[in-house]
Amino acid sequence: MEYYLITGTNRGIGLELTKQLLQKGVTVIACCRNPEQASELNALLLKGNKERLIIFKLEITNEKDIQALSSFLEDRGIKLNVLVLNAGIAEPAEQIGTITQQQLLDVLNTNTVGPLLVIQALVDHFDSRKAPAKIICISSDLGSISRASDLVFGLSYGVSKAALNMGVKKLSGELLKRGITINAMHPGWVKTDMGGSGAPLTTTQSVTAMLEVIDGLQSKTGLFLNYRGQEVAW
């Protein structure tokens, strides 16, 4: 049985990942902050997915939730094939003179610190016997330092994604020793609550392309890729 664990599955890219993976016959552990409010996610249980969809409460900045997830996998004897760290937030309207310490900390905790703590907690719960297990950190080209030039989409979001990218690079060698690859992935500018209605990509288009890239990664690790599999400048 193939297991994907995905964070931020109540809507947008995370929800679409869950839908497409279920269609492929994959078992999905769908994590979100408030499962009881995730109506579309819960509706998937009623569509013949009860055996292959596990919905788990995870606030990615809450260390108790993270430890509970690790204990859940241990108790069930579940070994993950792929972990997709998708949960994220943004403060797109930030301008110099209005940014608060709390805004910066909230975005960094959700987009950078939380994912790194999840990786640390789950590092012993991967199945790498037949092929490398995979970790995908959903990043953004707004986290590319070489491309950054202004405050498009605020300050904290780009800073948090650049820091996440550094985490991917720093962890890649150590994780590979354990049979796990880790890569950062820019999903494109996608029509979601975060991306807005003017984005050129639908969640279906983005996720379909990303899953093809993920399937083809083999043992590649420590890369920053876009949804088409092309390398993004750090």
CA atoms within 13 A on the CB side of 70: 15
pLDDT in tens, 115-170: 999 999 999 999 998 889 999 999 999 999 999 988 888 899 999 999 999 999 99
Residue 80 tokens, joined? 């993950």
Cα distance between residue 198 and residue 213, in whole Å: 25
Note the CATH number of domain 3-226.
Answer: 3.40.50.720
- pTM for this predicted structure: 0.97
Q: What does the domain layout of the chain look like in residue ranges?
A: 3-226
Residue 186's H or E segment, with its range, is strand 180-186
pLDDT tens digits, one per residue of 36-81: 999 999 999 988 899 999 999 999 999 999 999 999 999 999 999 9
